[in-house]
Amino acid sequence: MGSFALSPTNEKELMKRVGDIAGLTFGELAAQLNVKVPENFKREKGWSGQLIELALGASAGSKPQQDFPELGIELKTLPLSYNNQPLETTYVCYAPLTGLSGIHWETSNVKNKLQKVLWVPIQGEREIPPKDRIIGQGFIWQPNQRQQQLLQQDWEELMDMICLGKVEQITARIGEVLQIRPKAANGKALTDAIGKDGRPITTRPRGFYLRKNFTQHILDEVFC
């Protein structure tokens, strides 16, 4: 999609940009940025997020860091239904399957990424052509104590399973607010993990995702 040099130097500047794109359609914003809008997202699944990244000046790339490192802010788009309910779970980060000695919630990638999130709601109904989908008013969220506790509980349960060689027993049904699901280009992608009796195995890469109920609560806090 291309790169965008200008990056906001502070949160106020970032939120000004957020306000500027609120209410625009993907088509209108894409035109400003000289980007072509796909007919659907069957192939370009990450297009919405990349468009918003470009518009807000987020640092592109595949670095396992926050989108705005200087501001300590992570950017997430959130596709909503007509009733303003999340249509998809939210990808958080890759799930580590090896090199787990001394790993702890406090220093985990999940906690770091969710410490401060800029949520940008977007219309997500599939019957709306991408060019006509409207961008909502983005907002900053930081997990409260209760939310932190829920996230930590799930993270620890899931990481315990990974450490104990039970990654193959993990399904998306585990975890109240955080789940683990496959995260790869296809089923052929394999990575190292721990198997039964601590034996090394190879398995599909996994990622952490926030359940829709959890992001729904975040929306409720802000928009009532």
Partner DNA sequence: CGCTGATCATCA
Partner DNA sequence: TGATGATCAGCG
| Partners of residue 94 on adjacent β-strands | 207
Contact between 217 and DNA by CB under 7 A: the answer reads no
- Please name the amino acid found at residue 163: C
* Footprint (CB under 7 A) of DNA, residues 61-100: 61-64, 67, 74-77, 79, 87-89, 91, 93-94, 96
Over its C-alpha atoms, the chain yields an Rg (Å, rounded) of 18
Contact between 185 and DNA by CB under 7 A: the answer reads yes
CA 212, 148, 75, 192 dihedral sign is: negative
Contact between 210 and DNA by CB under 7 A: the answer reads no
Contact between 102 and DNA by CB under 7 A: the answer reads no
Closest CA to 141 of 80, 221, 54: 221
Q: Minimum Å distance from CB 200 to DNA?
A: 12
Closest CA to 139 of 157, 112, 119, 121: 119
Tokens of 47: 């297009």
Site string for DNA, 42-61 (x = CB under 7 A): xxxxx-xxx-xx------xx
Q: Minimum Å distance from CB 14 to DNA?
A: 15
Alpha-carbon span 79 to 47, nearest angstrom: 12
The 10 Å Cβ neighbour count of residue 62 is 5
Q: Residue holding tokens 């999130």? A: 117
Contact between 193 and DNA by CB under 7 A: the answer reads no
The site that binds DNA (CB under 7 A) totals a number of residues, namely 56
State which of residues 22, 183, 201, 217 lies at the interface with DNA (CB under 7 A).
Answer: 183
Site string for DNA, 125-144 (x = CB under 7 A): -x------------------
Strand (E) or helix (H) holding 168: none
Binding site for DNA (CB under 7 A): 40-46, 48-50, 52-53, 60-64, 67, 74-77, 79, 87-89, 91, 93-94, 96, 109, 113, 122, 124, 126, 171-173, 179, 181-192, 204-205, 207, 211-212
